[in-house]
Amino acid sequence: MLNISGIEEGYVIDHIRAGSCMKIYDALNLDKCEGEVAIIKNAKSGKLGKKDIIKIEGLVPLDLELLGFLDDNITVDIIKNNKIIEKKSLSLPDKITGVAVCRNPRCITSIEQGLKQTFILSDRKRHIYRCMYCEERL
Ligand SMILES: [Zn+2]
């Protein structure tokens, strides 16, 4: 059984905006994760009021860029031997590939199906991404 208060080896994805843990769960494909996953909704948090937390047993590959793109307030604790060995704070990635689809019907990515959809961060403050090919806003 997964001990909710601590995991021997794995991740604690913390400071998830309350109510959005399932979005994170889906984005990280945690339904396919072999290890144990605990989802804690509406945990009390001094900073946010309420927050969600996801704990993952096992050091599975984790897409930190994608996490940062979804919510850059998230922090990820990496746990080994029951200790936090690293705390990662996330930031908006400069570039994100394969996550979103360009809405411009004339964009080359709409015509050439094989092309990877890539978006470039154009305004960090306002969280605005634009298509690498046509500059359509995400
Ligand atoms: Zn485009």
The predicted model scores a pTM of: 0.85
Q: Give 119 Cα–ligand 1 centroid separation in angstroms.
A: 8
Tokens linked to 91: 């930031």
Q: Give 39 Cα–ligand 1 centroid separation in angstroms.
A: 35
pLDDT in tens, 91-128: 999 999 998 999 999 999 998 988 999 999 999 999 99
pLDDT in tens, 9-52: 999 999 999 999 999 999 999 999 888 999 999 999 886 699 99
Q: Give 118 Cα–ligand 1 centroid separation in angstroms.
A: 8
